[in-house]
Amino acid sequence: MASTDPLVAQLIDAENPEQCGPPPATETLPGRLWAISDLHLSYKTNREELEKLQPRPNDGLILGGDIGETPEHLRLAFTKATSCFGQVFWCPGNHELYTMPTQKEHGLRGEKKYEECVEIAREFGVKTPEDDYTLWEGEGGPCLIAPIFTLYDYSFRPAHVKLENALEWAREENIEATDEHILHPDPHESRIDWCEALLARTEHKLSAAVAAQPDVKLIIVGHWPLREDLVKLFLVPRFSLWCGTKKTEDWHNRFNAKVVVSGHLHVRRTDWRDNTRFEECSLGYPRQWQECKDRGLDINDFLREILPGPELPPADQRSDTIWRRYT
């Protein structure tokens, strides 16, 4: 006679696993896509914050540049990110391209420095602007995730300021980017020339992606903002020179973008232009997010949900910026 005692039944099943049957099926939920940029791991506070990143193994993470200045910073970020997320995507910021003063005589410069960063990313399986775009089939998909590298050409300046006077115009307010001294354009003659070459390559790749899959939206992921009207630097407005190029202003429409992800500004915000959502998702320097830390927030609170993300607002609300001071 079979026992009706549940405990006895469990013991019998444990001794006779063939009677237990297959384990119940577990449903794998579609993953979400998140983004954060400007981790600036040269700061101890930010390195400690990175270690608080919580596992989301079914999700994807975009790292939008300015992780740090050294290969060690990249490896630190990629080690943690790939241990927590199923897919990781990266594009370079200006800080990854720096040849530090201590490396002046022997450090890699320009394109060679960028190539070193790409090779490090590939050690961890992290997707870069040099890889094929990835079809995201999690929540909010399908979308092509398109990391890009574009630099800047000093065109984010007032119309009355000529290019040859642009640096002088910024210096009038005691503003000059560190890039002018340690971001080298080798083998190009200037950062403007390097920017031009990058724009041509990127346009070709984005055009090919849209032509091949015209019904699939893109998630364009770059460090520098695509549009000048999204550059609002309230304390250092003339730093805009180093923030992008006017030649990308219509890329969100030309290349069928659902979302454009950027960093660089350290001014977190969400905007809509036409039917495209723009996300600036910087963490920034410790002093810039200390108030958030004082409120009990950590790095997980700064992850921006890219997909599925919020619904497209009504047309009369799309000019409203959502300022992300505490998120």
Domains along the chain? 29-309 (3.60.21.10)
Task: Report the pLDDT value the prediction gives residue 272, as an integer from 0 to 100.
Answer: 97
Task: Report the pLDDT value the prediction gives residue 16, as an integer from 0 to 100.
Answer: 47
Task: Report the pLDDT value the prediction gives residue 187, as an integer from 0 to 100.
Answer: 98
| Cα separations in angstroms, 82 against 53, 57, 61, 303 | 11, 9, 9, 15
In this prediction the pTM is 0.90
Query: Whole-angstrom Cα distance, residue 186 to residue 189?
Result: 7
Contact 261, 222 (CB under 8 A): yes
Beta strands in the chain (DSSP E): 33-36, 56-63, 85-90, 134-136, 143-147, 217-221, 257-262, 269-273, 276-280, 304-307, 322-323
Selection from 163, 279, 162, 305 nearest residue 226 by Cα: 279
Task: Report the pLDDT value the prediction gives residue 15, as an integer from 0 to 100.
Answer: 45
Selection from 266, 234, 263, 229 nearest residue 249 by Cα: 229
Selection from 255, 168, 154 nearest residue 196 by Cα: 154
Task: Report the pLDDT value the prediction gives residue 152, as an integer from 0 to 100.
Answer: 98
Task: Report the pLDDT value the prediction gives residue 128, as an integer from 0 to 100.
Answer: 98
Task: Report the pLDDT value the prediction gives residue 30, as an integer from 0 to 100.
Answer: 73
| Cα separations in angstroms, 207 against 127, 150, 211, 212, 304 | 19, 15, 6, 9, 27
Listing DSSP states for 77-143 in one string gives HHHHHHHHEEEEEE---TGGG---GGGTTTS--HHHHHHHHHHHHHHTT-B-TTSPPEEE-STT-SE
Assigned token pair, 261: 């992800």
Tens-binned pLDDT, residue by residue, of the chain (327 aa): 444 444 334 433 444 444 445 555 445 567 999 999 999 999 999 999 999 999 999 999 999 999 999 999 999 999 999 999 999 999 999 999 999 988 877 889 999 999 999 999 999 999 999 999 999 999 999 999 999 999 999 999 999 999 999 999 999 999 999 999 999 999 999 999 999 999 999 999 999 999 999 999 999 999 999 999 999 999 999 999 999 999 999 999 999 999 999 999 999 999 999 999 999 999 999 999 999 999 999 999 999 999 999 999 998 889 999 999 998
- Residue 209: count of CB within 10 angstroms of its CB: 18
Query: Whole-angstrom Cα distance, residue 175 to residue 180?
Result: 11
Contact 277, 310 (CB under 8 A): yes
- The amino acid sitting at 248 is T
